Structure 1
Amino acid sequence: MYRQLATACLLVSLAACSSLEFPGVYRLPIDQGNIITQEMVDQLKIGMTRSQVEYVMGTPLVRDTFSPNRWDYIYTLNDPNNEKKEHHQLTVIFKDDLLSEFTTDIKPSAAATTDVETEITSDSE
């Protein structure tokens, strides 16, 4: 009797720890970090102040204490229902408290790049 009860308890506890997925169970998509959109990247312009960048992008996820002129924005979205994983990263570098460069995996739109080229050519004339 004790042997059957111990075996049943062992099987129930092992089933509780397994990674079996039950069909029809909805799992929430989990997003972490700062949301980075195309519109946000298009608003970034070289020469913006720190507060302007923070207004557009929000508070950075990572502020490196050893490199205070670098801010990193990271966004991940895990959607277990579609098995889709989305990851975006944006790095902002300041020089003299002004935005000097930024790198991201989201390309600025064509309208945003022509605006920057227009500003550069109008400033140099």
Structure 2
Amino acid sequence: MRSNFRNSQSAARLSLVTLASVSASLLSACAYIPSVSGDKVLGLVRPYRLEVVQGNVLTKELVARVKPGMPKAQVRDLLGSPLLTDVFHDNRWDYVFTIRRQGAEPQKRQVVAWFDGDRLKSLEVPDDLPTENDFVAAINTKGKTGNLPKLELSEAERQALPLPPKREAPAVAEAMGAQRSYPPLESKQ
């Protein structure tokens, strides 16, 4: 009976020593696993990042159309609805634009429109506001710099466009069925 007890004690010690050595080797192996660094996970895999675009894209060409003295409705037609408006400060509209794309630098711009009543008083425009071509080049993640899309037609190209077909006014169909004449709803007395 005593030999059984010794065997079980030695087996328990052996299993504890084995468990301790396995745990120590596993913990020391964690130092060699590459971690999440930069854009890559485990140093190998680059996860997909969702493109986040918020606000109104404002360019130098769009902002140049807006002039002091314009009504709020006209400013909204040209620049779009502002991203931020405040009930307590209805004389200020904030046009904020942010974009994060994989492979491109994040961008953030803010244009502030100040109003005096219903008329535009002034427009605060950042110095780094891009032109339309510069904006397209900044969000181009393909690495092509010379193959930007053409944004506007020349006058010769406009003249070469075919005219839309002329539509004739639809013929008015004659009423079918019995024609009735109703007396006026109010009687004259």
TM more than 0.5:
yes
> Unaligned 5+ residue runs, structure 2?
1-21, 132-189
Which aligned pairs between 1:1-125 and structure 2 lie closer than 5 A? 19=36, 21=40, 22-23=44-45, 25-82=47-104, 84-105=105-126, 106=129
CA distance in 1, matches of 2:81, 2:75: 9
> % of aligned pairs identical?
32
- The letter for the 2-side match of 1:60 is P
Q: Where in structure 1 do 4 or more consecutive aligned residues deviate above 6 Å?
A: none
Aligned residue pair count: 99
Change (3 A) 1:19 1:60: farther
Q: Calculate the aligned-residue CA RMSD, in Å.
A: 3.0
More strand by share: 1
CA distance in 2, matches of 1:28, 1:107: 24
- The letter for the 1-side match of 2:85 is R
3-state secondary structure, aligned to 2:67: coil
State which structure, 1 or 2, has the greater radius of gyration over its C-alpha atoms.
2
More helix by share: 1
> Unaligned 5+ residue runs, structure 1?
12-17, 109-125
Q: Residue 80 of structure 1: CA displacement?
A: 2.9
